[in-house]
Amino acid sequence: MPFKMFGFQVYYATSAGQIRKRLNQMAAEDYGVIFMTEAAAELAAETVASYQDKLTPAIILIPDQFGSKGVGMKNIDGYVEKAIGQAIL
């Protein structure tokens, strides 16, 4: 995985329970930014949503090997609109 080449810590989870547990653990360990696939975020949507209004961790959704579902870009557009008052993307 390319993220390892850049020094990122990479975790794998195959079930919703594993994803929720790892996400909560990373938040408790004060991770500032967490990149996760859109598919993983869908499996743990409630947990991901619980961090949306918090400063950290910032959860950034990225496509997996099967391509984008558009969720990550939709979230970024929402964050930009919230920050500046209008959608520009």
Predicted confidence pLDDT, tens digits, the chain (89 residues): 578 888 899 999 989 999 999 999 999 999 999 999 999 999 999 999 999 888 889 898 888 777 666 666 666 776 676 667 766 66
Can you count the helices (H) and strands (E) in the chain?
Answer: 5, 2
Domains, the chain, ordered by start: 8-84 (3.40.50.10580)
CA dihedral 80, 81, 82, 85 (to 10 degrees): 120
Please give the pLDDT value at position 78.
67
Q: What's the pLDDT at 35?
A: 92
Instruction: Give residue 3's pLDDT.
Output: 83
pTM exceeds 0.85: no
